[in-house]
Chains A and B, each alone.
Chain A
Amino acid sequence: MTARTLFEKIWADHVIVVSPQGEELLYVDFNLINEGQSFLAFDQLRMEGRSSRRPQQHLAVTDHYLPTINRDRGTAGMANPEIRRVVEMLDENATEFKLPHIGWGHLDQGIAHVIAPELGIAQPGMLITCNDSHTATNGACGVLAIPIGGGNQLRHVVATQTVWLKKPKTMRFTVDGVRPEAVTAKDVILSIIREIGVGGATGYAIEYAGAAIRAMSMESRLTICNMSIEGGARIGMVGPDDTTYQFLNGRRKAPQGADWDRALTYWKTLPTDADAAFDRELSFDAARFAPMVTWGTSPEDCSPVDGVVPDPSSIGDGDRRRHVERALDYMKLKPATPLQQVAIDRVFIGSCTNSRIEDLRVAAAVVKGRRVARNVKLALVVPGSGLVKEQAEREGLDRIFRDAGFEWREPGCSMCLGMNPDRLSAGERCASTSNRNFEGRQGPGGRTHLVSPAMAAAAAIEGHFVDIRRWT
């Protein structure tokens, strides 16, 4: 049998039909649904009189719109009627279509991409879809996790438990070397995106490999896979290994007993064969990476924190120069400004990129015994899920954050996107652990700087960015 990659094995395992035109009909083992746009899919299904084919293979989760305060007051605590309506509609639709649902009042509630791995839903070899572009996060568990559109594609998955897709090409990022201390998974993925560009992996399924990835915890791998889409790829994966199995073992939805042994035997056949070929391969040396800060309006617009804001006039490529000019204008930054001199108004620690327990531990260690700087108007910590929140509180992390002047919120997407009440005002500058720094992403006119949790925490304390490697 010819050597195959992890991606190829899982893909092949899910093909039901190949259309003469080359699109393939794939079986969906599990589908996650958020409130974002899903009401459109349900509206249409209802109109057509269709039902859900396999309700138990879905989970509806409220994350995008849900406010992170006033949960005890239920839907009445959601001041904005449109937001309240969207949250309620997910409830109603899940009930009507008989889909399991983690609503706003549920103890497990949180961001879908945080919940699926932590509940053990995301298992090696599965094909998982979700109406959200960061679905690749689950790929860290050896899952083929694919984002789908919230309207037609979601409607199709609910009605048929399948999805039509064109097979992407394969690409491997091998990250070898030892990551310097204080350089986190976030810095690794930002550094990679800086090198390849935001369209660098468009059309490819990425596999992250190499010693530096192997050495990472599951949390870190989830952060890496999460930002595959920022490099243009809809799919990002890490081959399952002992770290994966240990992480999964005992989780609520993970196989138990004899099933676990059977599963494990199968999972061990999944990693990429030694001589399998990829369409593209790139190598990186983790030892060269540094803590990163974005200065522009695209995730590739980032530099090591000891660097300066670039000068567009020194950029040869016309498109790129115009982009940087516009980005600096929007971000109100002057060329050659040292990044460490950039002062911030708000801090957001959260999002499906960096809201897991490991992220919160790192950030708490930085802020412990200190105070948020006076120029920082609001510093938010938003755990990724109810389980993360509970764990953090058990460890006393909430106290550390609160004592330092942070707000400790209920789980959700929060200020990763300006769709719920947590958002930036025009002109405000935010150190954010999220994944997107597009114009207006965190609120119209808001200015986002993407960083790791440690860097965000240190920026909160100093009121501007600092080089976490030299900061004590």
Chain B
Amino acid sequence: MDKFTVLNGLVAPIDRANVDTDQIIPKQYLASIKRTGFGEGLFAEWRKDASFVLNQSRYKGATILLGRKNFGCGSSREHAPWALMDYGFRSVIAPSFADIFFNNSFKNGFLPVVLSEAEVDRLFHECNAFPGFRLVIDLERQTVASTDGALTMHFDIDPFRKYCLLNGLDEIGLTLRHADKIRAFEARRKAQHPWYF
């Protein structure tokens, strides 16, 4: 997993609430047998519309997505963060996220940032008003700021998730530090509730 420290990136706004994973990566792209390559299917249905954000040249090369509430609702498909990452995004900012998408994102080194509705509104405003609008996401300091620093917003993040992202730490490695405890638990459960095994 790649480390996530500071991201300075162009922002692409998707001004819709409840963007679901079926839109993020339509299922016809899921049969791909490689983890990479999903970027092709990112928002495939919406991209058929020439005026869609990702088709506009001013957002070419964007690495930060700006969204509305309940971003990533729908299926538990891990492809959603993969597709976003494969396309080039490393982070999405929104007022709220669906649980599964939120969790899957962290596990893939993709950072979902929760800001308040008002802050997100403000960012949409700036983003629409200024072509080339960029933001700097500093994970260590937990801030989202304009490149000139005039606008700085703070976000919360679970310390454990932050630690893993900052260090590019993968979960199996973390877990196996507890191998003895897992073994002991297993033995105890088997003795107490043998019918489950």
Using a CB–CB distance below 8 Å, which chain A residues touch chain B? 16-17, 19-23, 25, 27, 29-30, 36-37, 39-40, 43-44, 48, 50, 54, 56-57, 65, 80, 82-83, 85-86, 89, 123, 125-126, 131-133, 147-153, 155-156, 159-162, 164, 166, 198-199, 202-203, 232, 234, 255, 259-260, 262-263, 266, 298, 319, 322-323, 326, 417-419, 436, 438-441, 444
Of residues 76 through 124 on chain B, the ones whose CB sits less than 8 Å from some CB of chain A are: 76-79, 82, 96, 98-100, 103-104, 107-108
Of residues 159 through 178 on chain B, the ones whose CB sits less than 8 Å from some CB of chain A are: 159-161, 163, 170-172, 174-176, 178
Q: Does B8 contact A (CB under 8 A)?
A: no
Q: Does B141 contact A (CB under 8 A)?
A: no
Q: Does B151 contact A (CB under 8 A)?
A: no
Complex CA–CA separation, A81 to B28 (angstroms): 13
Tell me if B30 and A43 are in contact (CB < 8 A).
no
Complex CA–CA separation, A152 to B77 (angstroms): 11
Chain B residue contacts of A54, Cβ below 8 A: 186
Q: Does B5 contact A (CB under 8 A)?
A: no
Interface segment among B19-27, B49-57, B130-138: the answer is: B19-27
Tell me if B182 and A16 are in contact (CB < 8 A).
yes
Chain A residue contacts of B98, Cβ below 8 A: 199, 202, 232
Task: Check A19/B33 contact, CB under 8 A, given A27-B182, A152-B107, A438-B22.
Answer: no
Complex CA–CA separation, A21 to B23 (angstroms): 33
Which one, A80, A151, A419, A444, contacts B78 given CB within 8 A? A151
**Other A-B pairs beyond A21-B163, A150-B77, A440-B26, 16, CB < 8 Å:** A16-B178, A22-B158, A22-B160, A37-B78, A43-B35, A126-B196, A149-B76, A150-B78, A151-B108, A152-B171, A159-B172, A199-B96, A232-B98, A259-B195, A319-B17, A419-B31
Complex CA–CA separation, A127 to B141 (angstroms): 37
Complex CA–CA separation, A326 to B96 (angstroms): 21
Tell me if B45 and A149 are in contact (CB < 8 A).
no
Which one, A21, A263, A319, A418, contacts B27 given CB within 8 A? A418
Tell me if A148 and B76 are in contact (CB < 8 A).
yes
B169 to chain A, nearest CB (A): 12
